[in-house]
Amino acid sequence: MSELPDWMYAPRDEGWFADDLDHLPQAPRHTELIDGALVFMTVPQRSFHGRVVRNLTAALDALVPGGMVVEDQMTVKLDRWNRPEPDVVVASAVYDTDRTWYAVADVALVVEVVSPESAHRDRTVKVRKYAEAGIPHYWIVEEEQGLPVVHVFELEATMSSYAPAGIFRGKLERPVPFPITIDLDGLVPSGRRAGD
């Protein structure tokens, strides 16, 4: 069994802290911190995932009101030991070229596009962590016959958990966190959908 490189060992008994991610240039892209442990993307992303993330980011960016920004694959500092990297983040913040994370208090919406290797984290671990941190809106995008289906959740603040707010196919229309209308089928090329 091969040894891990020195940089992969936590610098303290409590594990990694959220701020440590900014000082790990050796870490691969899309490294997350969950409960003080580094989580790496170990397999290439599928085309569906990349297209949906890119096109959903652009669609939200066209709709977001002034004073808010939309970023893809930017970490959110939930607390000292948790800094996940949602696929899309909508935050109340000014654009900053040097930003590497958003404070949870500024985040209005996080979106995860489910991949086979991230399904458990996206559907269970991250749902709980985002809700407990107080992020008001969470979307999970699943693939159904080659098309995106969006499961929308809103924070039920008194319970620090999410309540289902709808499942959207074809078109997503929501009044919160700002007026949103998105052609979901248009997020992937029509000539490449399963079953076409």
- Helix or strand run (H / E) with residue 51: helix 47-63
The tokens of 179 are what?
């007026």
Beta-bridge mates of residue 148: 143
Asked, for residue 15, whether it belongs to a domain, the answer is no
Q: What's the structural domain count of the chain?
A: 1
Asked, for residue 53, whether it belongs to a domain, the answer is yes
What pLDDT does 2 receive? 65
Asked, for residue 90, whether it belongs to a domain, the answer is yes
Domain of 153 in residue numbering reads as: 49-79+86-191
Asked, for residue 130, whether it belongs to a domain, the answer is yes
Asked, for residue 61, whether it belongs to a domain, the answer is yes
Residue 182's Cβ-count burial label (10 Å; 0-12, 13-18, 19+) is: buried
> With a cut of 50, which residues of the chain have pLDDT below it?
192-196
Assess contact for 162 and 154: CB atoms under 8 A. Answer: yes
CATH number at residue 147: 3.90.1570.10
Asked, for residue 152, whether it belongs to a domain, the answer is yes
Residue 105, φ and ψ in degrees, nearest 5: -65, -20
Residue 156, φ and ψ in degrees, nearest 5: -100, 95
Q: N- to C-terminal Cα distance for the chain?
A: 46
Sign of CA dihedral 144, 64, 133, 21: positive
- Rounded to two decimals, what is the model's pTM? 0.89
Asked, for residue 71, whether it belongs to a domain, the answer is yes
Asked, for residue 70, whether it belongs to a domain, the answer is yes
